[in-house]
Amino acid sequence: MQESIIDISRLNVYQGQNLILQDVNLVVRKGEFVYLVGKTGTGKSSLLKTLYGDLPVKEGSCTVVGFDLRKMDWKKVPYLRRNLGVVFQDFQLLTDRNVNENLKFVLRATGWKEDRLMDEKIIDVLDKVGLKSKGFKMPFELSGGEQQRVDIARALLNSPKLILADEPTGNLDPETSDEIMNLLFNICRDYGTAIVMATHDYPVINKFPARVVKTERGHVYDNATISTE
């Protein structure tokens, strides 16, 4: 059986003093693609924030890429995040520097020192997302789909075991959404990277079927159906 990348047992998720999700049990294994769905306000974002160390684990157990988040203090959060890739809906690229410099900024921030190694890594991830020739472009010179590909390249920089994607097709037209989904599924298959993707985009789920986890009424339901949405 493949190794567990996320292992959650009897987890209660809080925002401040408010209990958002209770008794969460979830296992995601290496190379698995999982959709995280649910209406706005049902706890999707809170669960993602817990997984990348933004919300503390107070009750229950939650292990992500080998890190026990119950024992996590704020000094260790950067080490957790080096083993994660996070893809945002709004790209969050630095607008004052080109694609290569955007990626180099992240590598420096996560402890890389040698320019030659950084340059090689940047070429590698841009090649994986089909943007090998776009490293010298500024973000505003790229289409929305290309910017999202840069965001995915950034998530791949530290060869993560897990990518958390928050509405990565939310701002894209259907054709570009299909391209991004094909890219994510290829990364999952070719590199054994587990991907958890939060989305409201049900046509995408129908077109690219995978396991569905749903937040609803303070609980998380595994292998959920979305036909009632």
Task: Answer yes or no: are the C-beta atoms of 33 and 184 closer than 8 Å.
Answer: yes
47-50: long-range contacts, CB 8 A cutoff, minimum separation 24: 47/13, 47/21, 47/215, 47/220, 48/164, 48/166, 48/196, 48/198, 50/11, 50/13
Total-model pTM: 0.92
Scored b (16 or more CB within 10 A) or e, 14-29 reads: beeeeebbbebebebe
Give the residue extent of every domain in the chain.
32-55+78-221
Which residue carries 């994986």 as its tokens? 128
At 129 the three-state DSSP class reads coil
Average pLDDT for residues 8-23, to the nearest whole number?
95
Is pLDDT above 50 for 229? no
Whole-number pLDDT of residue 91: 73
Q: Give the count of alpha carbons within 13 A of 117, CB side only.
A: 8
Q: What is the pLDDT of residues 104-128, one digit of tens each?
A: 999 998 889 999 999 999 999 999 9
CATH for the stretch 32-55+78-221: 3.40.50.300
Average pLDDT for residues 164-193, to the nearest whole number?
93
